[in-house]
Amino acid sequence: MKAGQGRQQAGMDGKERRAAVSLAGMFGLRMLGLFLVLPVFSIYAHQLEGVREHPALIGLALGAYGLTQALLQIPFGMLSDRYGRKPVILIGTILFIAGSWIAAASDSIYGVLIGRIVQGAGAVASVIIALSADLTREENRTKAMAMIGITIGLSFAVSLVLGPLLASWIGVDGIFWLIGGLGLISLIFLYTVVPTPKLLRHHRDAELSPAMVAGVMKDPELLRLDFGVFALHAALTALFVVLPLVLMDPRHPLLPLERQWELYLPVMLIAFALMVPFIIIAESRRKMKQVFVGAIATLAISVLIMALSHDSLAWIALALLVFFTGFNVLEASLPSLISKISPAGVKGTAIGVYTTAEFLGAFVGGAIGGLLYDPVQNNYATVFWAVLGLFVAWLLVAIGMRQPRYVATRVLHVGAVSELEARAIEARLLAIPGVVEAAVFPDEEVAYCKVDSKVVDESALAAVMRVAGDEGLATSP
C-alpha cells in the first residue's frame, strides 16, 4: 500500500455509519413526504373549494413548496453554523409537519396552498448535509453524501408507486396526515439515533459560503448547470400537473387511480436499468458532454410523444420510459458535473446555488402548468408543448458547454497552519503531476485539490502530507 492511502481506504466506523444511515433516512422521509402527492395531487385538487374559480392554483399549490425551499435553504444553513444543527433541523421539521397537517385539514385549495408553502419553509436539507459533514471524517464524507443522494432517488421512485396506492386507500388528505407523521419519525431519528457533533465547523465541500456566491454566479459553466436543474424540475412539476388528469380523463380513461402504480413501477425499474450503461460510458469513456446533451434530447423526444399521443396508454408508457431514462441520467450527471466544474473549495457553494435553482424550478413549473392548463378544454397538449419548449431551450444552452475536466476532488487534512504555510502547501501540491487546482484554508485545516486520477502521483501527494504533518487524504468524485 502506498504511503498515505491507508486512511483513504478505511471504512466508516460505527459512529459514522450510524450518522450516515440515520441522516439518509431522515432526508429520505422528508423527500418522500414532498413527492408522495406528485402523481395524485391534480386529481385531488379538483375536489377542493376555489378550484373552479381559480384552476391555476392547482399548479401553484403543487409547486409552492419549492418557493420557500429556494428562499430559506441558505438562511437556514447560516443559522445552523451559528446556533447548531439539531435545533435548526428541529424548527424546520416542525414547520414541515405543520404545513403537512394544514394541507390535510383543508377543504379549499387556498388552505392546501398555505400548507405547501409552510411545508417548504422547513428548508433544512442543507443543514442535514452539514450535520453529515460534521459527523464524518473527510475520507468518508463522500460515502455519506452518496447515501443521501441514493435515498433521494429511491424516495422519488417509491413515491410514484406508493402515491396512487395510498390515495386510493386513505385519500390525498390521508397522505398529508401521513407525511406529517413521517416528519415526527424523522425527529425521533434526530434525537435518538443521530449523534451530536462535538465540534461545528464550516465545510466548504458540503456547505455554501456566502463570500463565494458571487463568483459562482459569474461562472458561465456552472450557470448552465443551474439552468439545467431549474428546467428539469420545472418540467417535472409541470408534467405532473396534467399527467394524472390524462390517465383519468373521463372522455377516454386510460388507467384508474388505484392501478396507476402498474404503470409507474415497471417504467421506473426499466428506466433505472437503462440509465446505468449511459453513466458508465459518460465517466469511464469520458463522454460526459455527449451523454448529457443526448439525455436532454431524449427528454424533448419523450415530451413530443406525450403532446402528440396522450390519448394512448401505450404511447404514454413509452414516453414515460424515455423520459425517466433521460431524467435519471441527468439527475446523476448534474451533481457530478457541478463537482468537476466548480473550483477547488467551492463545491459546497456551487451545490447550494444549484439546489436553490432546483427548488425554484419546481415552483415555476407548477405555476406554468397551472396557468396553461384549462380544465374546461382539457388542453393537456398545451402544457406538453410548453415543456418541450423548455427542453429545447436547455438543449441550446447545453450544446455550448465545454467538455468537463475529468478530475476528482482530494480533501487533505493539513492541521493548524498559518496563511504563509498554507500558500507554501498549495505551491507544493500544484507542482505534483496531475494536480490541476489546490486551495488550502487554514480556518478549516484542509486543502482541496482537483486531480486527474489517471495521472496524479499518489506517492507525491502522500509526501506533501507527511511534510505538512497530516495523517492521510480523502477522495470525492
84: left (phi over 0), alpha (psi -120 to 50) or beta: left
- Name the CATH topology of 15-399: Growth Hormone; Chain: A; (1.20.1250)
Task: Label residue 2 exposed, middle or buried (CB < 10 Å: 0-12, 13-18, 19+).
Answer: exposed
Residue 62 grid cell:
403543487
Q: Could you tell me if 144 and 20 are in contact, meaning their C-beta atoms sit under 8 angstroms apart?
A: yes
How far lies 38's CA from each of 52, 109, 113, 147, 365, in Å?
A: 20, 15, 14, 23, 12
Look at residue 160 and give its three-state secondary structure.
helix
pLDDT of residue 10: 55
pLDDT tens across the length of the chain (477 residues)? 333 343 444 577 778 888 888 888 888 888 888 899 999 999 999 999 999 999 999 999 999 999 999 999 989 988 998 899 999 999 999 999 999 999 999 999 999 999 999 999 999 988 998 898 888 877 677 788 888 888 888 899 999 999 999 999 999 999 999 999 999 999 998 999 898 888 777 788 888 888 899 999 999 999 999 999 999 999 999 999 999 999 999 888 999 999 999 999 999 999 999 999 999 998 888 899 999 999 999 999 999 999 999 999 999 999 999 999 999 999 999 988 998 898 888 888 999 999 999 999 999 999 999 999 998 888 999 999 999 999 999 999 999 999 888 888 888 888 888 889 889 888 999 988 889 889 998 888 888 888 887 888 778 877 777 666 544 444 444
- Compute φ and ψ for 295, nearest 5 degrees: -65, -40
Give the DSSP letter string of 233-251: HHHHHHHHHHHHHHHT-TT
Residue given cell 418522500 in the structure block: 32
One CATH from 3.40.50.620, 3.30.70.100, 2.40.110.10, 1.10.1740.10 for 408-476: 3.30.70.100
Q: Residue 323 gets which letter from DSSP?
A: H
Euclidean distance between the first and final Cα of the chain, in Å? 21
| Per-residue b or e along 179-203, where b marks 16 or more CB atoms closer than 10 Å to that residue's CB | bbebbeebbebbeeebeebeebebb
Question: What tens digit of pLDDT does each residue of 386-445 get?
Answer: 999 999 999 999 999 998 888 888 888 888 888 898 898 889 999 888 898 899 988 888
Q: Which of 369, 37, 45, 117 is nearest to 236 (CA)?
A: 369
- Compute φ and ψ for 447, nearest 5 degrees: -120, 135
Residue intervals in the chain for CATH 3.30.70.100 = 408-476
> What is the C-alpha to C-alpha distance for residues 322 and 345, in angstroms, rounded to an integer?
36
Residue intervals in the chain for CATH 1.20.1250.20 = 15-399
